[in-house]
């Protein structure tokens, strides 16, 4: 069914577009986490034509360590659930077989080849990720289940659906070796997590961060290492990230310990704005000693502008220091925008018409005498009018920044005290004269 058709049926349908990049990041993080079970992991990355990505864990070598298949499965299920995911799985002697079973059926444990064969034989070929042409061809000749395909002569079938498809089936049944590219654990650990919705309380943050700490634990396990320090970055909209350094007296890879320290830090943190993303970086990985220690050291170029701005931000608060940039807008109030300090000139050119350097935050009403505007005496109109009528689209949307539709005639005026003013006459009712800025 096309999206259009679906919408015709359910007009209120809420559509979420699949984000392949985030999915790839999530499966990579899970692969790191899975390092706590086995270092031999392979990753089936997300593909547009596939419903889900997958992780392949080779657990033959660690069965004894964990005390059997069931225990591993239970631990994996709990670990995944703790990170807020749900698990579909199958355990089978062949990687391809396990993949297909996990995709197609309820959780299943196949201890040996015979059990696997029996399970696979019943799978409908239409649901498998065989090449689309092979699936179509099999449907044409009336093959529904894998068992039907197995009844056809291999070579003849290979000519029709391609030897790749035939080989895939053979691998699933364990009749061909199935080498898989091993997941390479990153040399440095640093993982991002975009939160599905902004979070403003510590408990929810802690829950979300579990995905990252779980992955870190897995990564450390696979490397046979521990961590003495890691940093959690909290990103909030339009603000610099906050870094929470988690230090451990001794190197560790105990997820519980991570969580305890993290909880303490988070509970003391005052969240000024909701957090929309997290990043966890392992900064001190043991047994590597003497990691860079100049993170908070003041150094070179103490007098440059950047340092000054950093200090201002630190003293006054980040929200109180900002830069100004031009915006292409006819309405003077909207022709400038405040931007973060770090952000430079955005390249937008301003109006070519004369604009005062100092614009009042709020226009001041001027007295009027004999039709002429007054400010400590009559004002002399020097240039104009410049008529500005714009902004109708914001009319009625009275949020803080919106001024709605304006209809004004602007003039440059000379005041009795010799100052040059920018004034306007409001053409909307009730009208009147206003001072909007100073040229000098």
Other beta carbons less than 10 A from residue 384's beta carbon: 17
Q: Minimal CA–CA distance to 19: which of 234, 196, 236, 191?
A: 196
288: how many CB neighbours lie within 10 A of its CB? 10
Q: Tell me the pairing of strands 433-438 and 41-44.
A: unpaired
User: By CB under 8 A, which span of 78-86, 100-108, 264-272, 380-388 interacts with other proteins?
Assistant: 380-388
Please select the residue that binds other proteins; options are 4, 86, 250, 440, rule is CB under 8 A. Answer: 4
**Using rule CB under 8 A, residue 399 touches other proteins:** no
141/316 with CB nearer other proteins: 141
Q: Does 367 bind other proteins (CB under 8 A)?
A: no
Nearer to other proteins, 52 or 328 (CB): 328
* Residue 154 within binding range of other proteins, rule CB under 8 A: yes
Cα–Cα distance measured from residue 231 to residue 343, given in angstroms and rounded to the nearest whole number: 25
For other proteins, the closer CB: 358 or 393: 393
Q: Choose the stretch contacting other proteins; rule: CB under 8 A; options: 136-144, 188-196, 219-227, 257-265.
A: 136-144
Q: How many residues does the chain have?
A: 440
Question: Whole-number minimum distance, CB 3 to other proteins, in Å?
Answer: 8
Tell me the closest approach of the beta carbon of residue 351 to other proteins, in angstroms.
Answer: 7
Beta-strand pair 226-235/242-252:
antiparallel
Decide: 179 and 235 in contact? Cβ < 8 Å.
no
290: left (phi over 0), alpha (psi -120 to 50) or beta: left
Count Cβ atoms below 10 Å from residue 345 Cβ, excluding itself: 10
CA distance 146 to 170: 11
Whole-angstrom distance, CA of residue 126 vs CA of residue 44: 20
- Closer CB to other proteins, residue 148 or residue 254? 148
Please identify which residue in 180, 327, 372, 419 interacts with other proteins, judged by CB under 8 A: 327
**Nearest approach, Cβ of residue 128 and other proteins (Å):** 15
Minimum Å gap between C-beta 138 and other proteins is: 10
184: contact with other proteins by CB under 8 A = no
Q: Which residues pair with 277 in a beta bridge?
A: 194, 235
Please give the residue ranges that form the binding site for other proteins (CB under 8 A): 3-5, 7-13, 15, 137, 140-142, 149-156, 158-163, 166-167, 169-170, 173, 175-176, 327-330, 348, 351, 353-354, 383-390, 392-393, 395-397, 407, 409-410
């Amino acid at each position: 069914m096309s999206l259009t058709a679906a919408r015709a049926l359910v007009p209120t349908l809420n559509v979420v577009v699949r984000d392949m990049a985030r999915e790839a990041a999530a499966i990579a993080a899970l692969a790191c986490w899975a390092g706590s079970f086995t270092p031999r992991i392979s990753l089936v990355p997300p593909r547009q034509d596939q419903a889900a990505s997958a992780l392949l864990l080779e657990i033959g070598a660690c069965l004894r360590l964990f005390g059997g298949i069931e225990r591993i499965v239970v631990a994996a299920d709990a670990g995944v659930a703790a990170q807020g995911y749900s698990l579909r799985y199958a355990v089978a002697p062949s990687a391809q077989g396990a993949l297909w079973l996990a995709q197609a059926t309820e959780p299943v444990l196949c201890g040996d080849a015979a059990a696997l064969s029996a399970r696979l034989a019943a799978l409908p070929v239409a649901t498998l990720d065989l090449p689309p042409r092979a699936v179509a061809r099999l449907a044409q000749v009336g093959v529904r289940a894998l068992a039907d395909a197995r009844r056809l002569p291999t070579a003849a079938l290979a000519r029709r659906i391609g030897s790749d498809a035939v080989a895939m089936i053979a691998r699933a049944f364990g009749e061909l070796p199935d080498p898989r590219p091993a997941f390479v654990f990153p040399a440095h650990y640093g993982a991002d997590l975009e939160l599905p919705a902004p979070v403003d309380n510590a408990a929810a943050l802690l829950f979300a961060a579990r995905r990252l700490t779980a992955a870190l634990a897995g990564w450390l396990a696979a490397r046979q290492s521990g961590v003495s320090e890691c940093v959690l970055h909290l990103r909030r909209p339009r603000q610099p990230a906050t870094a929470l350094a988690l230090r451990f007296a001794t190197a560790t890879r105990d997820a519980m310990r991570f969580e305890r320290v993290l909880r303490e830090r988070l509970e003391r943190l005052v969240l000024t704005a909701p957090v929309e993303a997290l990043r966890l970086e392992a900064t001190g990985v043991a047994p590597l000693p003497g990691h860079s220690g100049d993170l908070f050291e003041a150094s070179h170029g103490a007098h440059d502008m950047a340092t000054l701005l950093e200090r201002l931000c630190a003293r006054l608060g980040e929200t109180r220091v900002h830069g100004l940039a031009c915006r292409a807008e006819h309405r003077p109030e909207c022709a400038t925008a405040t931007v973060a300090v770090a952000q430079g000139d955005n390249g937008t050119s301003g109006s070519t018409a004369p604009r005062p350097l100092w614009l009042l935050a709020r226009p001041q009403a001027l007295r009027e005498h004999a039709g002429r505007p007054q400010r400590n005496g009559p004002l002399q109109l020097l240039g104009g009018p410049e008529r500005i009528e714009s902004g109708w689209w914001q009319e009625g949307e009275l949020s803080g920044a919106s001024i709605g539709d304006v209809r004004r005639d602007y003039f440059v005026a000379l005041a009795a005290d010799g100052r040059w003013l920018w004034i306007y006459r409001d053409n909307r009712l009730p009208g009147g004269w206003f001072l909007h800025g100073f040229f000098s």
